[in-house]
Amino acid sequence: MAKVKKAPRPKAQTPKGFRDYFGAEVTERADMLKTIAEVYHQYGFDALESSGVETVEALGKFLPDVDRPNEGVFAWQDEDDAWMALRYDLTAPLARVYAQHRNDLPLPYRRYAMGPVWRNEKPGPGRYRQFYQCDADTVGAANVAADAEICAMLSDTLERVGIPRGDYLVRVNNRKVLNGVLETMGLSDDKQRDDVLRTIDKFDKVGEAGVRELLGKGRLDASGAYIDGVGLSADQAEPVVAFLTSKDADVAKTFANLQDAIGGSKVGSEGVGELEKIGDLLAAQGYGADRIEIDPSVVRGLGYYTGPVFEAELTFEILDDKGRKRQFGSVAGGGRYDDLVKRFTGQEVPATGVSIGVDRLLAALREKGRIGGTVAAGPVVVTVMDKNRMADYQTMVAELRNAGIRAEVYLGNPKNFGNQLKYADKRQSPVAVIEGGDEHENGVVQIKDLILGAKIAENATLEEWKERPSQYEVPRDQLVAKVREILDLNS
């Protein structure tokens, strides 16, 4: 009889493009989400938690940089052969929710949403297939005051989470201005228009000269490879260059330059007017160019933006993997998307919103040393000296918890007491509680200050530590008070 082969053991590894988050990381994210939610709530936005799964039909064609509806997402067919997918952002689900429940929702509808999104894209350094977003959107407000409010709220949010003024900039543009530039150029070929948009998006990397080359015949990149250009004449390319270089220290001059770039385009002129109004509204609230500025180089990639667009960029420098200085870059973006809900209702519904990349924002705060520099304290550990007296130890831990102190009973094998203290050290526990038979009989407990003990072990010559005992014997009824005293001393 043939020997039955054992099934191979599964590999214990995280799927490609995903990662696991532990203790402090999860807590830091939760704290940030709470802070952001407080700002959004303060601005009058209500929370919405929609399904993590949408129909591919509902997601539609508005996927990032893809042509087919089920490309770029994790999709499957259910038992009814309908295609389902994990949400790739929080905006497409909002369009579906509003279209479905519009008769029950106020107009305008202001909502914020937070949670993970999933993209079936090639992962890279710091680029994962699952990540957190934090969105706020106003549906049903055509006035650009809604866009200005989003920009102001984004500025306030960055400062509230720990990015100081001077380390960030919210940059604002308008897709209508860009459409006016394209109209002035007389481009009728959609492919050429798309190529021009992609070239504009490279302005920060290649500069004015590089854009001119890419709009024309092409250029050699840094690796020496030749990049084919769009094939425009110098005259055709000039409005794009004028548009990209229109920013001036004097915002009035910027608007004048934009008017020159769009020529006689009606839609372009409308876009410039909207930018001027946004600037006036922000100035009236005290948001100057040190926090929010008009910047024509901002071009959001997603196809559904129809008006104002904005990005939050962190301006401080960090070192890359090769030790070179570079700016941290964008952590949030958004804009107006007046056509998205129309897919469901057949009627245009104005909408504007912003999405914050929570994981990138957390990374920025770690770079600045605002979080992650210290290890979070673990729980007080009540050790077990006699497994037959587990009820006594559980009583102790209940008293600590009822007093608001994080605590746990050691639940491993209590035979080796040294292993219990090793466990407490690994948990970053500040205090260990010890009650053996003698202590129990005498109505006392031993309370070990593990933080002080570690400091003495590191530097036994420090007199200030040597004067303080690292272990105390106190009456049993003083357990909670003594533990709190030690925690306060070490906080």
pLDDT in tens, 361-417: 998 888 877 777 666 789 999 999 999 999 999 999 999 999 999 999 999 999 899
pLDDT level of residue 461 (50, 70, 90 thresholds): low
pLDDT surpassing 70 at residue 193: yes
pLDDT level of residue 243 (50, 70, 90 thresholds): confident
Verify cis geometry, omega within 30 degrees of 0, for the bond prior to 108.
yes
For residues 235-242, average pLDDT: 82
- Per-residue pLDDT of 68-119, as tens digits, reads 555 788 988 888 888 899 999 999 999 999 999 999 999 999 999 999 999 9
Mean pLDDT value across the chain: 87
Q: What is the CA radius of gyration of the chain?
A: 29
pLDDT level of residue 220 (50, 70, 90 thresholds): confident
Lowest-confidence pick of 104-108, 213-217, 223-227: 223-227
pLDDT surpassing 90 at residue 424: yes
382 neighbors 410 (Cβ within 8 angstroms): yes
- Per-residue pLDDT of 281-300, as tens digits, reads 999 999 999 999 998 888 76
pLDDT level of residue 321 (50, 70, 90 thresholds): low
Which residues lie closer than 8 Å to 188 by C-beta, 6 or more apart?
A: none
In order of their start, the domains of the chain are 23-367 (3.30.930.10), 380-490 (3.40.50.800)
215 neighbors 229 (Cβ within 8 angstroms): yes
Beta-carbon-side half-sphere exposure of residue 484 (alpha carbons within 13 Å): 11
Which residues lie closer than 8 Å to 323 by C-beta, 6 or more apart?
A: none
Nearest to 240 by CA among 217, 265, 215, 220: 215
User: What whole-number distance in Å separates Cα of residue 382 and Cα of residue 411?
Assistant: 10
pTM of this prediction? 0.84
For residues 27-56, average pLDDT: 95
Nearest to 134 by CA among 308, 354, 304, 311: 354
The amino acid at residue 234 is: A
- Residue 222: count of CB within 10 angstroms of its CB: 7
Nearest to 350 by CA among 48, 110, 85, 71: 110
